């Protein structure tokens, strides 16, 4: 069965139910694991051990009193350090928020706590979610547990590496252009980007408000479903949150098999895709065909524009969202200030890293009155075409299958000096965010070098249950999510 720290949340929940394990014992085991592997992995930014143990104690007491709050009661969840948690640091991976302590809980944190789940540690990320490798964190470079010389993907790379390395069974990340799915693919775990509006963004520090979503990372799609059940649902504190009925996601795993129509978009298999990635995805397609599902060749013709459109829309939104970090209120303030202007200029110059500055400048440029028609307005029009591609495809198919990324995890430093190369890591993921759709990544193979390969499913809006169900068909019959890295 393997080590305790590599067990799925579902297995751990069953062990807690069978009383073969207490929540306090579980947290203690994970604290030991974290101490063992963190010097190498560097995924964790801060961790309130005493509080986690206190929560675990309370969960054990509820269990003894027969007052459990649900299947994740007593189960630890890692949190990307961009989701506000009362009384805890919220750095967003940035020096500008180095000493900031959140005075309130994000809605997802309230829901986790109400379900008895235990927030366990705040995990590293690219500064404000800007990046694909977690190297843009102002604090530390997180390593890929499969190969310590490689990046874990990003921007939720701390969460991805932590789940992969056995530091925590489940985590909450955020995905603006691929930041849950890409680290999931690089680390060989499962990750779900939820439909825009399904999960409240209240308390998620904003990168691009029209594409940001919170979602789960875990060892299996079953675990993702358990966490999604808690966090999904309307919240009146987020004006973009939708009042849709929330299904019982666990039904995704026991319904009668039906035959799915699976679309294969040719644009996702063009140049730039690595041979080993191509082969693994082709094997996954063959698997579904053999199981009796219908494979349909489709086209998403505007895919080619997704990266430029995303990097215009996202930088525009980021530049205005980040205006709040001004040195006046809760952020870093430069010690060198002589006047009001200095407060803004020097504090922001010192507090933000170079990628953040690049995006603020780009975003301000595409929104400037001379250029907004040429860039921002035009990008929004092409965004509509990208959305239309998906709606047309979904007239023909139930779900779309593609690689999560064209290559496996790259080496640390390899793309750091070339932002365009870094941006291309998102080529298979950003369209989904522009269209507000749900998408999931699961491991579907390993390269010769031993690095995981991610398989992506894209679904219709609010059809997370279908994605979980289709991915589960694959997961059940493969052992890719039962392989664990040897971190020596």
Active-site hit among 7, 10, 80, 346: 80
Q: Which is nearer to ligand GLN, 176 or 280 (CB)?
A: 176
Peptide bond into 155 cis (omega under 30): yes
List the one residue from 23, 102, 134, 155 that touches ligand GLN (CB under 6 A).
155
Size of the site for ligand GLN (CB under 6 A): 13
Q: Which is nearer to ligand GLN, 87 or 413 (CB)?
A: 413
Q: Which is nearer to ligand GLN, 150 or 298 (CB)?
A: 150
What is the sign, positive or negative, of the torsion defined by CA atoms of 397, 399, 404, 407?
negative
Q: Which is nearer to ligand GLN, 121 or 129 (CB)?
A: 129
Tell me how far, at minimum, the Cβ of 37 lies from ligand GLN, in Å: 25
Tell me how far, at minimum, the Cβ of 138 lies from ligand GLN, in Å: 15
Active-site hit among 179, 280, 347, 431: 179
151 is a contact residue toward ligand GLN (CB under 6 A): no
Is 179 known to be catalytic?
A: yes
Query: Footprint of ligand GLN on residues 421-440 (CB under 6 A)?
Result: 426
CA distances, 218 to each of 2, 192, 420 (Å): 17, 9, 29
Q: Which is nearer to ligand GLN, 306 or 467 (CB)?
A: 306
Is 155 known to be catalytic?
A: yes
SS (H, E, C) the chain: CCCHHHCCHHHHHHHHHCCCCCHHHHHHHHHHHHHHHHHHHCCEEECCHHHHHHHHHHHHHHHHCCCCCCCCCCCEEEEECCECCCCCECCCCCHHHCCCECCCCCHHHHHHHHCCCEEEEEECCCHHHCCCCCCCCCCCCCCECCECCECCCCCCHHHHHHHHCCCCCEEEEEECCCCCHHHHHHHCCEEEECCCCCECCCCECCCCCCCCEEEEEECCHHHHHHHHHHHECCCCCCCCCCCCCCCCHHHHHCCCCCCCEEEEEHHHHCCCCCHHHHHHHHHHHHHHHHCCCEEEEECCHHHHHHHHHHHHHHHHHHHHHHHHCCCCCCCCCCCCCCCHHHHHHHHHHHHCCHHHHHHHHHHHHHHCCCCCHHHHHHHHHHHHHHHHHHHHHHHHCCEEEEECCCCCCCECCCCCCCHHHHHHCCCCCHHHHHHCCCEEEEEEEECCCCCEEEEEEECCCCCHHHHHHHHHHHHHCCCHHHCCCCCC
Tell me how far, at minimum, the Cβ of 203 lies from ligand GLN, in Å: 16
The Cα–Cα gap between 375 and 354 comes to 22
Cα angle 381, 386, 392 (rounded to 5 degrees) comes to 125
Tell me how far, at minimum, the Cβ of 317 lies from ligand GLN, in Å: 11
Q: Which is nearer to ligand GLN, 9 or 130 (CB)?
A: 130
Tell me how far, at minimum, the Cβ of 311 lies from ligand GLN, in Å: 8
Query: Footprint of ligand GLN on residues 306-365 (CB under 6 A)?
Result: 314
207 is a contact residue toward ligand GLN (CB under 6 A): yes
179 is a contact residue toward ligand GLN (CB under 6 A): yes
Q: Which is nearer to ligand GLN, 6 or 352 (CB)?
A: 352
178 is a contact residue toward ligand GLN (CB under 6 A): yes
118-123 and 190-193 strand pairing: unpaired
Query: Footprint of ligand GLN on residues 128-147 (CB under 6 A)?
Result: 129-132
Question: Do 407 and 454 form a contact (C-beta atoms < 8 A)?
Answer: no
List the one residue from 119, 177, 188, 225 that touches ligand GLN (CB under 6 A).
177
176 is a contact residue toward ligand GLN (CB under 6 A): yes
221 is a contact residue toward ligand GLN (CB under 6 A): no
Tell me how far, at minimum, the Cβ of 364 lies from ligand GLN, in Å: 17
Q: Which is nearer to ligand GLN, 177 or 265 (CB)?
A: 177
The Cα–Cα gap between 442 and 444 comes to 6
CA distances, 463 to each of 66, 160, 253, 383 (Å): 34, 24, 14, 21
405 is a contact residue toward ligand GLN (CB under 6 A): no
Tell me how far, at minimum, the Cβ of 185 lies from ligand GLN, in Å: 12
List the one residue from 175, 235, 267, 466 that touches ligand GLN (CB under 6 A).
175
Tell me how far, at minimum, the Cβ of 302 lies from ligand GLN, in Å: 19
Active-site hit among 23, 94, 155, 425: 155
Q: Which is nearer to ligand GLN, 252 or 432 (CB)?
A: 432
Q: Which range in 49-57, 65-73, 170-178, 266-274 contacts ligand GLN by CB under 6 A?
A: 170-178
277 is a contact residue toward ligand GLN (CB under 6 A): no
183 is a contact residue toward ligand GLN (CB under 6 A): no
Tell me how far, at minimum, the Cβ of 180 lies from ligand GLN, in Å: 7
- Name the site residues for ligand GLN (rule: CB under 6 A): 129-132, 155, 175-179, 207, 314, 426
Active site residues: 80, 155, 179
């Amino acid at each position: 069965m393997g080590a305790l720290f590599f067990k799925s949340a579902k297995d751990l929940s069953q062990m807690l139910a069978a009383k073969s394990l207490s929540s306090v014992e579980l947290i203690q085991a994970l604290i030991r694991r974290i101490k063992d592997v963190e010097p190498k992995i560097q995924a964790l930014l801060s961790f309130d051990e005493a509080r986690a143990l206190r929560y675990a104690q309370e969960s054990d007491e509820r269990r003894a009193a027969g007052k459990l709050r649900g299947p994740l009661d007593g189960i630890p969840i890692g949190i990307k350090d961009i989701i506000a948690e009362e009384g805890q640091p919220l750095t967003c991976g940035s020096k500008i928020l180095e000493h900031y302590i959140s005075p309130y809980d994000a809605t997802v944190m309230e829901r986790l706590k109400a379900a008895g789940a235990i927030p366990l540690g705040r995990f590293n990320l690219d500064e404000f979610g800007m990046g694909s490798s977690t190297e843009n964190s102002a604090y530390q470079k997180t390593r890929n547990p499969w190969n310590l010389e490689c990046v874990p993907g990003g921007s939720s790379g701390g969460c991805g590496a932590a789940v992969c390395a056995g530091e925590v069974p489940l985590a909450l990340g955020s995905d603006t252009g691929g930041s849950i799915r890409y680290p999931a693919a690089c680390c060989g775990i499962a990750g779900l980007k939820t439909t825009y509006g399904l999960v409240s963004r209240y308390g998620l520090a904003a990168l691009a408000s029209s594409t940001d979503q919170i979602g789960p990372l875990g060892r299996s799609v079953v675990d993702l479903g358990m966490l999604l059940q808690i966090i999904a649902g309307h919240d009146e504190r987020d004006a973009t949150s939708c009042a849709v009925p929330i299904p019982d996601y666990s039904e995704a795993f026991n319904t009668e098999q039906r035959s799915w129509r699976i679309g294969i978009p040719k644009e996702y298999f063009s140049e730039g895709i690595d041979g080993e990635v191509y082969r693994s995805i082709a094997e996954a397609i063959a698997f579904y065909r053999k199981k009796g599902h219908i494979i349909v060749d489709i086209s998403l013709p505007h895919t080619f524009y997704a990266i430029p459109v995303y990097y215009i829309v996202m930088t525009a939104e980021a530049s205005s969202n980040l205006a709040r970090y001004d040195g006046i209120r809760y952020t870093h303030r430069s010690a060198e200030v002589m006047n009001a202007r200095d407060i803004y200029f020097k504090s922001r110059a010192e507090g933000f890293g170079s990628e953040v500055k690049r995006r603020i400048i780009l975003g301000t440029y595409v929104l400037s009155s001379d250029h907004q028609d040429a860039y921002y307005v035009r990008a929004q029009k092409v965004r509509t075409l990208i959305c239309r591609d998906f709606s047309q495809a979904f007239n023909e198919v139930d779900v779309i299958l593609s690689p999560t990324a064209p290559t496996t995890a790259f080496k640390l430093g390899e793309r750091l000096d070339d932002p365009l190369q870094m941006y291309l890591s998102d080529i298979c993921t950003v369209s989904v965010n522009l269209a507000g759709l749900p998408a999931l990544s699961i491991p579907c193979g390993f390269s010769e070098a031993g690095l995981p390969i991610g398989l992506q499913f894209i679904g219709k809006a609010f059809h997370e249950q279908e994605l979980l169900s289709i991915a589960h068909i694959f997961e059940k019959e493969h052992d890719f999510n039962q392989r664990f890295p040897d971190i020596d």
